[in-house]
Amino acid sequence: MSMPTFSEAFNLVDYFLFERLSEGNGERIAIRFGDRAYRYDEVADKSLAFMNALVAGGVRRGERVLIVLHDVPPFAWAIMGTFARGAVVAMGNPDAPIENIRYLLDYTRATALVTHPGIAAAIVLQARSGAMASELQRIFVVPDVATGDDAEGAVNAVDDPLVVSLTRALGEAPDYARPAVHRDEPAMWLFTSGSTGEPKANVHSHRDFAYNTEVYAKGTVGYREGDVSVSVPRLFFGYATGTKLFFPFAVGGTSCLFSERPTPESVARAVEMYRPTIVTNVPTMIGKLLDHDEMLRGDGKKGLDWSSVRFSLSAGEALPEALLQRWQARVASDIYDGIGSAEMFHIYASNRPGDVRPGSLGKVVDGYELRVLPESADGPGAAPCAPGDIGVLWVKGDSVSHGYWLDRDRSWKTFHGHWCRTGDLFHIDESGYLYFAGRADDLLKVGGQWVAPLEVEACLMRHESVASVAVIGVEQEGLLKTKAYVVLRPGFSATDALAHQLQEWARARLAKYKYPRVIEFVADLPKNDRGKVDKKALRSRELAS
């Protein structure tokens, strides 16, 4: 395929939204939220109204707008209206502690915050107490469907000129002219997961998102007109911002939202209600959905109905081969597992229609280039590892970040011109399929030999009793040993006999030094706000015990 190019005057609000109107698709349904539906022309009107509200509120071009919302329709016009203003989108988790949201406000120096009543009240309280030095010019309040908190009531209760109801602001601001925006102006900051230290923002320009949409969403997995999307990850996570909002909008599809916490039950309800053609998922939820399905059918009830789904997507962490095989035995549609990052906006290697290789992350997306280089390589020109040998993945493509905000040292280590050093360990086979081997800082040295936790986890996942597992290193009597936290599938009991059985299972299939010396059964594994297993939390738990 020929690589996409974009004119110098280029704004994502045109690419994702206003071009649908010029194509005659203004009356198509852009968003569904429960019983409510919003056409593309309605979303466009609300997005322009939000742009006007930003101007009226004193938010200037290039300044940050922090969106901290659950998955509700105003999320869409807040993003699109910010693009139209020429301001910069940043996003945060609405369920995070207020200290985390305060950190995002301080770090981004946001001049506008779009959020729910409880967060708005807490931020105003901190600002009044002098606990934070804020750049905020306006706080737009959106009703909280989870708590039932009303925006107008919250504005009256807070009684601060900074705080306004978003609905009222959309209706009161005068019309302003849209500024011309350059394709390389910052459009959005995407945060790292914060697995080591505070999260850092990748600065991305307008064309970054359009580029990946063209080569991955349209060119690789095949989003098409009329697709209906549902997502397990929440909208503030760039993986879901792309798959659930940007990609459907780019083809005239429908983004279907639900604001409840993702559980097997809430996801199943969303699939039943919306009948999506595409589901954005993560490995942990895939396993839980399969367990939920087995429980339903074991009780004589109707299991999951995935018949409307053309394909599902998986990312965030590698999809274990055993879990994919369980899915394939139950569900007719494929899962396209892929790898991406905030540094590149989205997915740059993936399985795809007609080419799913279980256990792999597929092949490079057209428009990107991958190299697996020795850990010691200080640039992309180093000699690559031989096929099958493990090294660090480097990726090149036109969606690469400008760098990390306020962290030049880390940026210099990660970005080398067009290239990004991911820090992830992979090997590529002779056919070009990519296999994840963990992160370099996850490797454990046990008995003088390196152990990759991912290899141990993949082995244990093949046992019939294991629903999910995480392996970390623990110190015992001054020596580092491997410990597996295991979540069991329904019907299995946590016993010493089963723990011994799992150890013997691993000993028979791995090098002897790799089997887990300790196994602890847990009800669930901790997750970070991206839905990934939070090994940092597990290590902290061990230190505290």
Q: Pull the structure tokens for residue 36.
A: 């409510």
Closest Cα to residue 466, out of 538, 522, 526?
522
**Can you tell me which residue has the tokens 């229609």?**
353
Name the pairing type of β-strands 228-231 and 363-364: unpaired
**Can you tell me which residue has the tokens 């708005």?**
120
**How confident is the model at residue 149, as a pLDDT?**
74
Neighbour count for residue 139 (Cβ, 10 Å): 26
Q: What is the CATH number of domain 225-439?
A: 3.40.50.12780
**How confident is the model at residue 194, as a pLDDT?**
57
225-439 and 443-544, same CATH topology: no
Give domain limits for the chain. 12-191, 225-439, 443-544
Q: Please, which residues bridge with residue 64 across strands?
A: 88
Per-residue model confidence as pLDDT tens digits over 121-138: 999 988 877 767 678 999
Per-residue model confidence as pLDDT tens digits over 59-80: 999 999 999 999 999 999 999 9
What's the start-to-end Cα distance of the chain, in Å?
A: 55
Q: Does domain 443-544 have CATH number 3.40.50.1100?
A: no
Q: What is the CATH number of domain 12-191?
A: 3.40.50.980
Cα radius of gyration (the chain) = 24
Between the alpha carbon of residue 359 and those of residues 100, 178, 351, 435, the distances in Å are 35, 47, 10, 7
Closest Cα to residue 107, out of 71, 138, 124, 132?
132
**How confident is the model at residue 446, as a pLDDT?**
80
Note the pTM of the prediction, 2 decimals. 0.88
Q: Residue 427: helix, strand or coil by DSSP?
A: strand
**How confident is the model at residue 377, as a pLDDT?**
94
Q: Pull the structure tokens for residue 534.
A: 């939070």
Listed as ranges, residues in the chain with pLDDT below 70 are: 1, 131, 133, 194-197, 477-478
Query: What are the DSSP calls for 113-173, one per residue?
Result: EEE-HHHHHHHHHHHHHTS-----SEEEE--BTTTTB-HHHHHHHH--TTEEEHHHHHHHS
CA distance 349 to 63: 32
**How confident is the model at residue 103, as a pLDDT?**
93
Q: Quick one: which H or E segment has residue 47?
A: helix 40-56
CA distance 282 to 261: 14
Contact 519, 502 (CB under 8 A): yes
Q: Quick one: which H or E segment has residue 533?
A: none
